[in-house]
Structure 1
């Protein structure tokens, strides 16, 4: 029969484990309470009060197991001196670049001084990024340096100067003086006065082109269409400016039908040469001929074949020596285009300019010409130069 009133029987099986030495962590000893005592009956002698009990002893090793309050940890500053140096250097350098750009000194942006300062700023930014306390401001300095640097502001300045032509501020007085030179560097300035004027060359070119067209129409029945207007372009003087001389390109003329076959093309070119001889031009030279002295690989690439018999393009020219003038006669014969590459190129050109897809084209080009209307001003301008 089991004594149910007893908590544990027959040893310690089933009993909870003993507490560890020193007790459980954070455990508190509860002071024992004294059960209330009934007041004595009246007339009965009272027992003396017991002495006050001593306070309960502390748990062993209580100091070791009791949780300790964490000591306040000193927080480090978010930024350090290196970060402030980097952001300050980047900001000051950005201001220097902006002031330089605003003053129009575009060339100074690529000077040695600013390039060295840019390198120093970069070193300061990298040093700040490598330190824990300077990393925040170092990142901000890096952002500033990426936006405001020699490359970005220099590019902005160059584009602006190109659009406005504002390069004068960086040129010396001597450079500006020679920039206005009316002739061409290292050329005889008097040559433009002695040779035929722009108006004379234009008249000769138009007359020669008309004579060639008439002869070809009469002998081969070729009809013509204008495919380009006259173009005048100022010649550069070699000192960074424009001279008073001009390059002349006549209106271009093209045949309205193809000219194919080696024999027919050769006959047409010889007829052109005959007309040019009659008008005082030199004999014609064929760039596309292997005997021209041009590298055979270049001839193959430019003209679509290594021999005139199988070439797509022919290019002949003649000079009006000693007067300025070059007469060009080009033939495009797509019957020799075995790859279709030249046809595709010609189709794109024809769609853009409206010229015939293939056939013969004629044009005259002459350079370093002085208009008769500018001759007096040209002479006066030359007097300022030694």
Structure 2
């Protein structure tokens, strides 16, 4: 007979007893051993290698070398004389077009794309750089920028006067012919006075030269700058006392003929910067200068009479002699001695006065 206190009986008859707290010993190890194993990881797959790029063909290499050599020749040709006349010839343009076509043909082919790209880029860059540089230089040298101007700007290219200068002021000035006559007369009187004072004999070098003035609108005005011939003495002048006497004679002759301003440019009283005096005249001390320079100007500032004394005995370094030798080779003037010349600016010829006035009217002036 079974009693209630029997340890082998549970709470209900015939059922197994519940497991002890924490489960039976060894139950976790058994359950872990009974789990299925994880599937193995797949083997890593090596990345696919890119297909080898085909090498450039021999024809592509040859044509590319020719195109690049021509581009370098264009760049080198820019440094040689006559570049502007070369780049715009039919032959040069034809060759450039052919080189461009050759670079494009190489680029299209599968075995020349890399070389074709390089050749095309270099060709375009060099062509633009060289032709553009030549065009810019031509425009700068000639002052012709018509291709970049509006119609109104092109109209003002023909303005007869000078931008910013009152036309009435130009018409009130002595004409070119009057300027020449006036300065020639003053020059002759000055030479005669110096001959009387020092016994100098004079020699003329050159003749009157005219240079057209720009009008400030990209074209040329009807006004000119004039440079007269140079008169030189037959002997040097090295005595400081003689130089001062010459200065006094110049000042006296100019005053007698209505020219009240004679400036000694090389004198410290006019030029206070010792550095400039040394740079242009050899010394800040007039007694040690290789050049004495003076200019006489009329009240209207329509002409200048220049008088210079070159003295190589005050040239200890020989640099001034070298400079004078170069000048003498260009115009035939002596290395030292006295020189007299005349110049004028923004002068209108009497023969062109009526034309000047008529053209001004087309500009509302």
Query: Quick check: TM above 0.5?
Result: yes
**Given the alignment of the two structures, is residue 147 of structure 1 paired with residue 126 of structure 2, yes or no?**
yes
Q: How does 1:1-386 map to 2 (within 5 A)?
A: 76-78=53-55, 134-148=113-127, 150-159=128-137, 167-322=145-300, 324-386=302-364
Q: Which runs of 5+ in 1 are unaligned?
A: 1-72, 80-86, 95-127
Q: Deviations over 1:238-272 (max 9, x none)?
A: 11111111111111111111011111011011101
Q: Deviations over 1:222-252 (max 9, x none)?
A: 1111122111111111111111111111111
SS of equivalent to 1:357: coil
Alpha-carbon distance in structure 1 between the residues aligned to 2:310 and 2:113: 70
Moved over 3 A (4+): 73-79, 158-167
Alpha-carbon distance in structure 2 between the residues aligned to 1:208 and 1:264: 21
Alpha-carbon distance in structure 1 between the residues aligned to 2:248 and 2:136: 52
SS of equivalent to 1:187: coil
CA contact (8 A) 1:247 1:369 kept: yes
- Report the Cα offset of residue 347 of structure 1: 1.7
SS of equivalent to 1:377: helix
SS of equivalent to 1:240: coil
CA contact (8 A) 2:292 2:308 kept: yes
SS of equivalent to 2:249: helix
- Report the Cα offset of residue 353 of structure 1: 1.7
SS of equivalent to 1:291: coil
Alpha-carbon distance in structure 1 between the residues aligned to 2:138 and 2:325: 38
Q: How many residues align?
A: 267
SS of equivalent to 2:269: helix
CA contact (8 A) 1:77 1:133 kept: no
CA contact (8 A) 2:215 2:221 kept: yes
- Report the Cα offset of residue 324 of structure 1: 0.8
Alpha-carbon distance in structure 1 between the residues aligned to 2:301 and 2:178: 10
Alpha-carbon distance in structure 2 between the residues aligned to 1:160 and 1:292: 41
Alpha-carbon distance in structure 1 between the residues aligned to 2:122 and 2:155: 43
When you count helix as a share of all residues, which structure comes out higher? 2
Which is greater in Rg?
Answer: 1
SS of equivalent to 1:182: coil
Cα 1:273–1:166 change in 2 (3 A) is closer
CA contact (8 A) 2:143 2:218 kept: no
Q: Deviations over 1:272-300 (max 9, x none)?
A: 11111111112311111111134210111
Q: Deviations over 1:198-234 (max 9, x none)?
A: 1111101111100011111112101111122111111
Aligned-residue Cα RMSD (Å) equals: 2.9
Q: TM-score, normalised by structure 2?
A: 0.67
CA contact (8 A) 1:287 1:294 kept: no
Q: Which runs of 5+ in 2 are unaligned?
A: 1-49, 57-63, 72-106
Cα 1:210–1:139 change in 2 (3 A) is same
SS of equivalent to 1:243: strand
SS of equivalent to 2:205: strand
More moved, 220-229 vs 163-172:
163-172
SS of equivalent to 1:315: strand
Alpha-carbon distance in structure 1 between the residues aligned to 2:138 and 2:216: 23
Q: TM-score, normalised by structure 1?
A: 0.64
